[in-house]
Structure 1
């Protein structure tokens, strides 16, 4: 049975189901679900114990052996629930076989893992089985990020305006653990420096803008290796593809504008100088070198594809993330 994350905490199924699977790219949401579930189960049985197991445990014992070792009450009469962290799904068939057996006496079995493709047998089994509950944990929406930000600031007794909350939501990660870590760093900075939120945000924006601007110039210069190296360094906080698309699209439009001016008879330097706002003087040489790297057809094609990709993200299409990365790869090959 499938249950949305937003409905999880208040669902009656938490105490009715025996087997749980939490999956997706948002490990913060997954951990949140498990914390809620443990609290609910403990409210019914204070003696219930939770045993955490990992992929390495399968090197010593099979999944079946681990479950059989823990399916009886301990000497004090305490029951055990098992929590498996799966880094791969090679044990899927064994999991399904054991769960469907009639003589299984375990209290609960909880699984957590990363993204699972639609159609894979373990996902389909949990979705179709009335005894199981599966919760997809996707990246936080803008609204969810705002709710988390408000909750964190309220807990710290720090006032935050609507504008500052919206700005933070647009800048920070869409993965819950990263989002909370970034917010905690911001809270610590505000408390230790005695500075207000505006000052803290100005530093955050400056750092963020510098990083994105550097990526934009590397991509426009088609420096494949340098771009991916920087992108990988930033990927933990690189959560706003829409913002990057906006900045990069405007950069390509500037190149297109300059090329049009050159056709009208201006020199490349004078054409660039006519841009408003102007190109930062330290980046002028790099910008001029990009003019010859792009022809009119590729510029218009890239700008159009960036717009379509942006619409895909705004519509929350499941393939939007992979579409964004595919488009970046194509641009580097233009």
Structure 2
């Protein structure tokens, strides 16, 4: 069966109802999180040698042997397969057609919709196919809120909104940041916008924001350095696009208020959350260089860049570097010509 977000709890919370669960997609952190939840719920532990068999790529020839083995303590066995591919479809079909009672949990990367493993998992009522892709927008906000609730930490709406636009897209990276913030707040504590900005000041998310701000103020060398740092720390080009679109949107909002007759200081006060004090100078430099019509055009270009990154086979890293370098070059040109 193909499982969507609304039905996810039926699988993760009740693994005894399934014989085969296939986890596939681009978000390796989310895949590992779901696999860990399934194995722990089904077997009671991740490292019980009598109940859990972990098969790396080099061990996958033993899949049928492990799936048909009996548990020595009478409980249900779990076979946890890493780096799975369509080459395992024949063995998995034989297992499902036989009497084996083990649960097989497979972690795979991106699989084609017509691939053998996905077709097998989606065509059977005793099997589940779960796509794991980077969360965005409200979906990401909801996940972040739940992670804080699990740790008995409150977070303000401003802080939550800021986090949703600055966290990376990989689930493991998101969870690591939440762990750090929850430790800072302490059980029963509350995180405000200033707290999360302070705690994430040296993170990969901050590197993305640095690259975006430097690009719009025309610092080409600084943009390159900040972007490479962000990418080396696991930032995703789509996440870079989202941070950039958020920054452009805030610049557009201020320029529109100014065009309507407000002073710049008053227009800046309308932003929620407000511009972080360490970024105020860079934000004002960008306002000097980008009038509203140029920002509208830049937003359209950035949306096209994000869409290109999401296309199958796209050279997203190259597109990302080229897009930010182009913005920095345009801003530098505007500064030289004395344009806003």
State the TM-score bracket (shorter-chain normalisation): 0.5 to 0.7
Shift in Å at residue 182 of structure 1? 0.3
Mapping 1:208-287, distance limit 5 Å = 211-214=208-211, 217=214, 226=225, 229-236=228-235, 239=239, 241-247=241-247
Corresponding residue of 1:53: 55
With normalisation by structure 2, the TM-score equals: 0.63
1:218-256 Cα deviation digits (max 9, x unpaired): 6956669757633423434873522224547999xxxxx
Kindly indicate whether residue 84 of structure 2 is the aligned counterpart of residue 73 of structure 1: no
- Deviating more after overlay: 74-83 vs 223-232: 223-232
Q: Distance in 2 between matches of 1:144 and 1:250?
A: 21
SS of the counterpart of 1:235? coil
Q: Distance in 2 between matches of 1:115 and 1:237?
A: 16
Q: In 2, are the aligned partners of 1:309 and 1:320 still within 8 Å (CA)?
A: no
SS of the counterpart of 2:3? coil
The alignment's C-alpha RMSD in Å is 4.9
* Aligned residue-pair number: 289
In the superposition, relative to structure 1, how do residues 67 and 325 fare at CA in structure 2: closer, same or farther (>3 Å)?
Answer: same
In the superposition, relative to structure 1, how do residues 13 and 96 fare at CA in structure 2: closer, same or farther (>3 Å)?
Answer: farther
In the superposition, relative to structure 1, how do residues 27 and 235 fare at CA in structure 2: closer, same or farther (>3 Å)?
Answer: closer
In the superposition, relative to structure 1, how do residues 48 and 147 fare at CA in structure 2: closer, same or farther (>3 Å)?
Answer: farther
Corresponding residue of 1:2: 2
Q: Which runs of 5+ in 2 are unaligned?
A: 252-266, 269-278, 330-340
Shift in Å at residue 185 of structure 1? 0.9
Q: Distance in 1 between matches of 2:305 and 2:98?
A: 51
Q: Distance in 2 between matches of 1:149 and 1:299?
A: 30
- Deviating more after overlay: 181-190 vs 30-39: 30-39
Instruction: Tell me which of 70, 88, 97 is aligned to 2:90.
Output: 97
Shift in Å at residue 133 of structure 1? 1.5
- Deviating more after overlay: 319-328 vs 75-84: 319-328
Q: In 2, are the aligned partners of 1:82 and 1:109 still within 8 Å (CA)?
A: yes
Q: Which runs of 5+ in 1 are unaligned?
A: 252-275, 292-297
With normalisation by structure 1, the TM-score equals: 0.64
